[in-house]
Amino acid sequence: GENVEQHPSTLSVQEGDSAVIKCTYSDSASNYFPWYKQELGKRPQLIIDIRSNVGEKKDQRIAVTLNKTAKHFSLHITETQPEDSAVYFCAASGSQGGSEKLVFGKGTKLTVNP
């Protein structure tokens, strides 16, 4: 089955700096890669996602890149703000025809210092 590795487990940056979180996946059939932000005791909140037919997607300060050959994808947050502090999870899943199970990475605790 799918296995998703996420690094780093903790990340501390100064306000205004960029933050990068990286993930690798094992199943070449996976084709959907979302990123979630989760606050304590709450449901995961989708912040950006990418499908395997594109290599990069950007939404304001957040961007995701995907390298299908290497089977890794990354989250980039620019101009970080204290409110970006949270736990971030990457995940991977297959298509309707394959496994739809969404498998999560172990998470990254991001701290943005004012």
CB-side neighbour CA atoms (13 Å) of 41: 0
Task: Give the C-alpha separation, 72 to 17, whole Å.
Answer: 23
Q: Does 25 bind other proteins (CB under 8 A)?
A: no
| Identified binder of other proteins from the candidate list 7, 11, 20, 49, rule CB under 8 A | 49
Place of tokens 């990340």: 11
| Identified binder of other proteins from the candidate list 16, 56, 100, 113, rule CB under 8 A | 100
Q: Does 44 bind other proteins (CB under 8 A)?
A: yes
Q: For binding to other proteins (CB under 8 A), which residues are involved? A: 32, 34, 41-44, 46, 49, 89, 93, 100-107
